[in-house]
Amino acid sequence: MENERTSRTLRLIMPQWQGGNGNNLDYHFGSRLLAWLAPESDDETIEVPIDTGLMNHEKEDGILAKQQLIKQANEAFDILQNKQPDRVVVLGGECSVELVPFAYLLEKYKDDVAILWIDAHPDIKTPEYLPNYQAMVLATLLGEGDDDFASLVPTRISPSNVVFAGINKEIEKEPHVYQKYNFNNVSSRDFESSSGKILDLLKATGVSRVAVHFDLDVLDLQEFRSQGGAKPGRYEKNVREWPKGSSIKSVGRLIQDVSEEFDVVGLGITEHLPWDAIALSNLLSSLPLLRK
């Protein structure tokens, strides 16, 4: 295993918002704040240029803002091809920010990398089911869905090298891509006190490297409210009706345990929606002496 101190890690800030539910610019703010909250590092940090212009509500091939998303994916691709890091950290933005970084890692390490998808949703829908590309990103990495996005993934992940953790929605309602493969999912309850089941599944793949996707919406709404389900006006209903999510402690322990057994070559953190900070920012922007 390559020593972390001798390998090169690139930190990508990618405040992409166009693929998110509601075509929501709040993802841009959330990514920027997430990057500020992350520990300082000597690793090179680059922000991927993201268009913050008018919201694009047009669909192409069933996907909202498709050309903007592809353009931004190519921007990320150019950065990675130029820098050629050994490891990549991605601070998003909605979930599709991981398309190109994970595709880069799959091409670099071929079949010696697994993906641990820590999320409340599997993100393997296709355009006929939902227009928001964030829900399709893992489908693309598997070689499913839109051909233009699939062309950005020269080496696809094998379904046997994907392990889900924390999918608490009703899996049987997921469309055909989920039903097509025999995916392993370990519920939040099943890794609350131990990472053993997930470590065993990852070891069964035979790989030495893991790329970790961590969507903040996997966390328990009562413990962590800077996520989509806690949006003001919806929180009370969702906290009553949604399944209990993962604790911050259990997710932190899980990722740390994985890093002790495998070479973690990718870490993506997505879907940061800090509603209180967003509301305060909007208020400050309206005040005299502060507004532009």
Can you give the residue ranges of every domain in the chain? 9-286
Is the predicted pLDDT of residue 213 greater than 90, yes or no?
yes
Tally Cβ neighbours within 10 Å of residue 145.
Answer: 25
Q: Which of 259, 245, 279 is nearest to 87 (CA)?
A: 259
Give the C-alpha separation, 132 to 19, whole Å.
Answer: 5
pLDDT band at 174 (very low <50, low <70, confident <90, very high): low
Percent of the chain's residues with pLDDT above 90:
81
Tell me the average pLDDT across 223-249. Answer: 94
pLDDT category, 170, cuts 50, 70, 90?
Answer: low
Per-residue pLDDT averaged across 250-279, rounded?
98
pLDDT for the residue 1: 47
Contact status, residue 215 vs residue 120, Cβ threshold 8 Å: yes
Q: What is the pLDDT of residue 130?
A: 86
Structure confidence at residue 184 as a pLDDT band (50, 70, 90): confident
What pLDDT, on the 0 to 100 scale, is given for residue 172? Answer: 46
* pLDDT above 80: residue 49: yes
- Taking residues 220-239, report their average pLDDT: 95
User: pLDDT tens digits, residue range 66-107?
Assistant: 999 999 999 999 999 999 999 999 999 999 999 999 999 999
pLDDT reading at 236 higher than 60 = yes
Domain 9-286 indexed as CATH 3.40.50.450:
no
Average pLDDT, the chain: 92
- Residue 48 is given by DSSP the state P
Do 153 and 100 form a contact (C-beta atoms < 8 A)?
Answer: no
Residue 165 has which token pair? 């953790």
Kindly state the percentage of the chain with pLDDT values over 70.
93
